[in-house]
Structure 1
Amino acid sequence: MSNDRLMKVLLAPIVSEKSTFIADKNQQVTFRILQDATKPEIKAAVELLFKVQVEAVRVLNTKGKAKRFGRFNGRRRNERKAYVSLAPGQEIDFAQEIK
């Protein structure tokens, strides 16, 4: 796995009520990831970017909802999420800058 690929695997952290509850309770962090990302790539990317130890990675595919925008039918995008379990004592602080 090249560093260029690992830098592109994680798209964004997911900050929602559910993800903050999971982070506090289970020491897990949630990320939006590429559609073709694998678990070993996700683990390596988190360890490379945030300098933490990762215990496990769980991946979830969600289908985009069909929605109506006025008189037009539309669809929200499909999304792939990764729930990353951190080792005990590890923490990711999104407020700090990444070097």
Structure 2
Amino acid sequence: MKNPRDIIKKPVVTEKSMGLVEENKYTFIVDMGANKIEIRQAVEELFNVKVDKVRTMRVKGKLKRVRNRWGKTPDRKKAIVTLKEGQKIQLFEGV
């Protein structure tokens, strides 16, 4: 198994993702090669919680222009993790 810190890269802190926290759903940027089972195991190990459901999506990078050159932001994979009833991740509490 991969290291859980290599699978979960960082949490997504946006207005929409913070609204999902009230529904017990947490959003993370994850490794592009990670599957749902690896994501579930990584979240359970890192945050000591029980995961109910994992949903993933691939987000394509956007074209951006910097001065006279065009570039592209990197592709990424997001995972929305639903925890079992009564479980919380302390990382998102003070945000």
Gap regions ≥5 residues in structure 2: none
Report the equivalent of 1:40. 37
What is the match of residue 88 of structure 2? 91
Q: 1:80 & 1:19 partners in 2: Cα distance? A: 15
- TM-score using structure 1 length: 0.88
The change in CA–CA distance for 1:88 and 1:95 in structure 2 (over 3 A counts) is closer
Name the Cα RMSD after superposition: 1.5
Which residue identity does 1:74 align to in structure 2? G
The whole-number CA distance in structure 2 between the counterparts of 1:29 and 1:55 is: 12
> Among the aligned pairs, what percent are the same residue?
37
Change in 2 beyond 3 A, CA 1:7/1:54: same
One-letter code of the match for 1:35? M
In structure 1, runs of 5+ residues without a counterpart are none
**Cα distance in 2 for residues equivalent to 1:64 and 1:95:** 26
Alignment of 1:64-75 (within 5 A): 64-75=61-72
Q: Decide which of 16, 20, 41 is 1:22's aligned counterpart.
A: 20
User: How far, CA to CA, are the matches of 1:50 and 1:69 in structure 2?
Assistant: 39
SS, match of residue 40 in structure 1: helix
- How far apart, in 2, do the equivalents of 1:95 and 1:31 lie? 11
